[in-house]
């Protein structure tokens, strides 16, 4: 009888763990009304890269936030496979190609390169209306906990460069989902 009670208690605890995980997973897809019990910060702050090639252009950049992190999403609709990227912290943000310094507000700067130009490589027509040194069009980060500034760097040699100002140097992850490249930056360590 005692063994049955132990097994029942273990099942209840396991079920609570699964329910807690499901809640955290749901929070990852959009703004959450309630903070999860614990936010993962095991992502680290080192450079993250993937060298996969892509020939499709960047279509849009969006931002959102959850109880645990702020998120930036790069839409590369029509991409064959997953786009390449390089994401890492820099001391100063310099425009790719010219080397001109672009001021970015915040305690830390995350530089993001996405292997997708902001124009159609065949026609040359602009597909994402970023302008060097200016905030990202259509991205409003007012009220975000971690994001403090966004700047378009350049679209040069088949890749787009973005500077993301952060409150501090915090853990981040890069996730690829379908035609989207997602950069999440935690609110704390």
Residues 6+ apart with CB under 8 A from 152: 130, 131, 132, 133, 134, 135, 136, 161, 162, 163
Q: What is the pTM of this model?
A: 0.80
Given this model, what pLDDT does residue 80 score? 74
Query: Which residues sit opposite 126 in a β-bridge?
Result: 119
Angle at 41 between CA 39 and CA 46, to 5 degrees: 160
Ranking 7-11, 98-102, 160-164, 171-175 by mean pLDDT, the lowest is: 7-11
pLDDT score of 11 more than 50? no
79 against 33, higher pLDDT: 79
């Amino acid at each position: 009888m005692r063994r049955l009670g132990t097994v029942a208690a273990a099942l209840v605890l396991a079920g609570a763990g699964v329910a807690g995980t499901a809640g955290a997973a749901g929070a990852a897809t959009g703004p959450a009304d309630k903070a999860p019990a614990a936010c993962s910060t095991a992502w680290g702050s080192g450079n993250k890269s993937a060298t996969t090639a892509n020939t499709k252009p960047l279509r849009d950049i969006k931002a959102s936030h959850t109880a645990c992190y702020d998120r930036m999403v790069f839409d590369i609709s029509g991409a064959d496979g997953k786009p390449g990227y390089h994401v890492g912290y820099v001391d100063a943000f310099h425009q790719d190609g010219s080397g001109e310094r672009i001021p970015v507000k915040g305690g830390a700067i995350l530089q993001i390169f996405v292997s997708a130009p902001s124009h159609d490589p065949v026609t040359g027509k602009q597909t994402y209306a970023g302008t060097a040194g200016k905030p990202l069009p259509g991205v409003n980060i007012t009220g975000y906990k971690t994001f403090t500034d966004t700047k378009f760097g350049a679209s040069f040699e088949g890749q787009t460069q973005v500077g993301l100002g952060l409150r501090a140097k915090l853990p981040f992850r890069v996730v690829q989902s379908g035609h989207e490249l997602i950069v999440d930056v935690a609110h704390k360590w």
